[in-house]
Amino acid sequence: MRTLLLYLLLVSVLLVTACSDALVRVKPYERGYFAQEKMLFSPLPASAEFEEHIFAVRESSQGGSVSFQGGCGCR
C-alpha cells in the first residue's frame, strides 16, 4: 500500500508541476507518422484483446495489458 501511495504522490506531483519543456519533443504539426495504424501501441485492438485473454488462461502472469480483462471461470 505504501508503494501505491508513493506512486500516486509522484503522479500528483508531476501533474501539478506539468513536467518540463524538455519533454516537448514533437510539435503538433510533426505528428503525421503517429496517425498511422502501424504506429499505435496496439494496431490490432480486437486481436490484442483476444490474445491477452488466451495468455491469461494459459499463463500465470497478469498486468501490462492493453485492455481491460474481466473475470471468467476459465482462469
Partner 1 sequence: MKRVFIAAGLFLAVLFVSAWAETLENKISVSVHGYGDDADEEIFSGKIDVFRIFRERLGFGVSLGIDAISGATKTASADAVSGATVVAAPGDDDDEGGDGDDDGSDYNARVYPSFRLVYDDGDNNVMGGAYFSFEDDYTGRAVFLNYTRQLNLQNTSLSAGITQSFDKWDVGGLDDDDRKERQVSLSVTQLLGRRTQIQAGYDLLHSEGHLGNPNRYIDFAVGGRVLERLPSDRDGYALSARLVQLLAEPTTVHLSYRYYDDDWGINSHTTNVALFQDLSETFTLGGRYRYYTQGAADFIKPVGQYAATDPLIGIDYKYTDFDAHTVGLMAIYKPGSGLESPGGGSGWGNTTITFSVDAYQTSSNDYIRAWYGQSRLTAYFASLGLEYKY
Contacts to partner 1 by CB under 8 A: 3-4, 7-8, 10-11, 13-15, 17-28, 30-34, 36-47, 50-51, 54-55, 58-68, 70-74
Considering the complex, what minimum distance in angstroms separates the CB of residue 48 from partner 1?
A: 9
In the three-class reduction of DSSP (H, G, I as helix; E, B as strand; rest coil), residue 27 is classed as coil
Specify whether the CB–CB gap between 53 and 71 falls below 8 A. no
Considering the complex, what minimum distance in angstroms separates the CB of residue 57 from partner 1?
A: 8
Considering only CA atoms, which of 51, 55, 45, 49 is closest in space to residue 75?
55
Distance of CA 73 to the CA centre of its chain: 25
Considering the complex, what minimum distance in angstroms separates the CB of residue 27 from partner 1?
A: 7
